[in-house]
Structure 1
């Protein structure tokens, strides 16, 4: 199925389109309601892709370019790929996963560019 990019995703979008899967930037703790998670966390058709260790602005909360961080991201992206393989339409924020609160371009530029 196709991959779609959407400028602004709301909780109403997820509820109005239960056949689609929506992707958002998440953290390893799988908690918090800031950024994209505000609109998607807890919805059955949402998939969080980790881009931070914790929902915090502390310097230790950010991912870096280590293999450990890359493997965590790849694990979640595999879930997205499986949804595509099952024929689900997948919707991703137009600005991508990681440029906002997780600051991937700053803290993990190599990871952000993949």
Structure 2
């Protein structure tokens, strides 16, 4: 998992839940590494010339990219409208710091 994602998961989770949160994030990234080649294999039945719609060529090589772009737009829309940013770990740290002082 890259540094930015690790930092966000660490800041947005409580100390007691941090290990589980990082494990879930790493598992999701690993699933992505597996799903990519599986998607390519799933569309391998499409022949090379494939289907042409205006400037869009839908074939063995471009189909996974189009599918992933649609999935990205759906996930972006879900995150944009449903994501609530909460820094549970940061609030927990600030509360603990105030108690110590």
Higher relative strand content: 1
Q: What is the TM-score when the length of structure 1 is the normalising length?
A: 0.28
Higher relative helix content: 2
The structure with the larger Rg is 2
Q: What is the TM-score when the length of structure 2 is the normalising length?
A: 0.30
